[in-house]
Amino acid sequence: MAILEALRYCKRIGLEGFWLESNSLSIVNCLRNSWKVPWERVEQVEECRELIKITKARIQHTLREGNNLVNFVANVVIGAVGVVQFDTFISLPTKGRCILNMDKAQVPSLRIRTRSINNQTTEYTEE
């Protein structure tokens, strides 16, 4: 679980009082005790809750559109071999820097769904 790894990292480096955002409403609600935790995730969720207390983190849900940079970096890392680390602005790929600059400038990010409607009808014949 990515949130658990992020919390472990923040604890290890001594980071406190930060906002942790996730576009997974179910995870956020489980961490907030609003929803029941699936039994196979109980240990991970309990560790997350403990780390949230230790680091004084605040967790909130964000829409996927609010997580463009995270989604971009995750996709870069998924396709990579070995360790990928971005610790400076300039180390981000060009598209990542563009996303970050748009976020800092508060340019809204919109997701537009397109779907094509197929007007074909199915004909039924009687036999």
Task: Identify whether the C-beta of residue 22 lies closer than 8 Å to the C-beta of residue 11.
Answer: no
Closest CA to 2 of 21, 16, 30, 29: 21
Which residues have C-beta within 8 Å of that of residue 49, sequence separation ≥ 6?
A: 31
Q: Which residues of the chain have pLDDT under 50?
A: 124, 127
- List, for residues 46-57, the tens digit of each pLDDT value: 999 999 999 999
Q: Report pTM.
A: 0.61
Domains with residue ranges and CATH for the chain: 1-62 (3.30.420.10), 65-108 (no CATH)
Within a 10 A sphere around the Cβ of 43, how many other Cβ atoms? 11
Task: Identify whether the C-beta of residue 19 lies closer than 8 Å to the C-beta of residue 2.
Answer: no
